[in-house]
Structure 1
Amino acid sequence: MAELVYPPVIGFARTMFKALDLRFDVKGSEHVPRRGGAVLVSNHIGYLDFIFCGLAARPAKRLVRFMAKESVFRHKVSGPLMRSMKHIPVDRAAGVDAYQHALAALRSGEIIGVFPEATISQSFTLKNFKSGAARLAQEAGVPLVPMALWGTQRLWTKGHKRDLGRRHIPITVRVGEPLAADPAETAESVTVRLRTRMQELLESAQRAYPVRATGPQDAWWIPAHLGGTAPAPAEAVRG
């Protein structure tokens, strides 16, 4: 079936990013499979993360179907777009349907996008991972493709006013080599390996990021352990 909505949405996003002169630094896009199913797994630090994950898959000419909370699909604007782009709604009270939907898509050769933290990390560090991405990859017999984003929190994130008109923001993306999800291994063990690799990618993205805070007022987007004023993980959970 022809993709009537997804490509124009990508084109619009690219036009907006060009207008804002966002400074992209993307490495590892060649690790996104050019054919066949895969689970693309990313950290989650901002509301626009799915867009940047999707853009990283474009050199491989792949469209990513993201699993997203069901409320997004009820919105009068985002809902029709999400459905037309064949993203997958997740009702946390009844996740079996979403899991089966994603599994069928993987088996048909699609790339499914998953944020295993299940919510935005307000500390901008990796939260605990759910094991669903690993279980999907194991059951479908497809690889996990780890990814890390950095800088997207400066545009729009939880607990902060969105700043979509700000120009010249650097966005750093690192994509790692696919990880095999052996069905003989426990999903929890696969998830530990996945999280370890994503931590390495995240640290690589942070080291490469070309901007540092100029003072306390500009340090909110930097994790506490890196000298910023973002809440520590334990404080973020309490908040």
Structure 2
Amino acid sequence: MPPELTVRGRIAATLRRRRRGSGFWFGLAIAVIWPIVLWGTRLGWRGAEHLPRTGGALLVGNHVSFSDPIFDIAFGTTHGRIPRFMAKGELWGVPVVKWVLGQGGHIPVYRASKRVGESFTGAIDALSRGEVVAVYPEGTYTADPEGWPMKPKNGVARIALRSGAPVIPMANWGTQDFLPAEGRPKLFPRKRIGIALGPPVDLSEFAGKPLTRTTLDAATKKIMDEVTTLLEGLRDETRPATPYDPELGARPEAPGEPVEGPGRAAS
């Protein structure tokens, strides 16, 4: 039996078992989406040994498509853990979507709001219960024309340092071909989806330090550097010298490198 078929069979069997404990709407979403995903893609992943089998863990990944959570849930669930995602709070106001997210145990993020602290508390509480919490520090799928991670938000470091949970870096690639930023899923030809996990990020140098912006930015950078290293392996390419800044609409200038404009074509 081809390895790829074995992977799809494992995913299907595992998700069927997990549906029963995930609530009606979350289970229904899996039942509707997965037949399309399983047979419309070629799945490849590595680093499952780095996903803790028990206890809380913060799974931190890059974001290239709205379909990333679908494949990341499959990865985690197939290896015995159901990730709880941090997702923008507005989705909890959308019929059906709010029931899927709520019954799946996912965590609302209230950005630019007086309730922003609830997002951190919800994530830290889930980690203390032994859950795997997944977060994309970019806040949305990347606007970098070349698909590399953008400048991240530092909330992920606040959660990591306050909770003390292990931080597992994760890279996604290929999902942007399956579900482009603008458009419908592209099932043919079948798209190759890659996910890679790495060992826990060593944040010991930040232990006990005040959670100032300088500390949080430095810890976030270290986490995202590990994520980007994994992505380099999936893409077999080298990252740019500086991450794309969505506020500038460009990649900031690095020493000896000209500023890149927003119109640079993707490779």
Q: Residue in 2 aligned with 1:184?
A: 208
Q: Match for 2:121: what amino acid?
A: Q
Name the SS of the counterpart of 2:66 in structure 1: coil
Q: Among the aligned pairs, what percent are the same residue? A: 29
What does residue range 111-150 of structure 1 map to in structure 2 within 5 Å? 111-123=132-144, 124-150=147-173
Kindly indicate whether the alpha-carbon contact (under 8 Å) linking 2:201 and 2:226 is maintained by their aligned counterparts in 1: no
Q: Equivalent residue for 2:4?
A: none
Find the counterpart in structure 1 of residue 73 from structure 2.
54
1:214-229 → structure 2 map (5 Å cutoff): none
User: Shift of the alpha carbon at 1:83?
Assistant: 0.9
Q: Distance in 2 between matches of 1:73 and 1:156?
A: 22
1:170 maps onto 2:189 in alignment: no
**Cα RMSD between the aligned structures?**
2.7
Query: Does structure 2 conserve the Cα–Cα contact (< 8 Å) formed by 1:103 and 1:136?
Result: yes
Report the TM-score when normalising by structure 1: 0.81
Shift in Å, 1:9:
3.9
Partner in structure 2 of residue 211 of structure 1: none
**Structure 2 residue runs without a partner (length 5+):** 1-19, 210-214, 242-248, 252-259
Q: CA-to-partner distance for each residue in 1:124-155, whole Å, 9 max, x for gaps? A: 11111112112212111111110011111112
Q: CA deviation at 1:235?
A: 4.4
Answer with 125-134 or 177-186: which moved more.
177-186
**Match for residue 38 of structure 1 among 22, 33, 57:** 57
Is the alpha carbon distance of 1:224 and 1:140 closer, same or farther for their aligned partners in structure 2, counting shifts above 3 Å?
closer
Q: 2:37 aligns with which of 11, 14, 17?
A: 17
Give the 4+ runs in structure 1 shifted more than 3 A: 5-14, 164-167, 231-237
Match of 1:106 in 2: 127
Q: Is the 8 A contact 2:174 2:194 kept in 1?
A: yes
Structure 2 partner of 1:194: 223
Give the counterpart of 1:207 among 229, 236, 245.
Answer: 236
Number of aligned residue pairs: 217
What is the rounded CA distance, in whole Å, between the counterparts of 1:224 and 1:138 in structure 2?
A: 28
> What is the CA-CA distance between 1:72 and the residue it aligns to?
1.8
> What is the TM-score normalised by the length of structure 2?
0.73
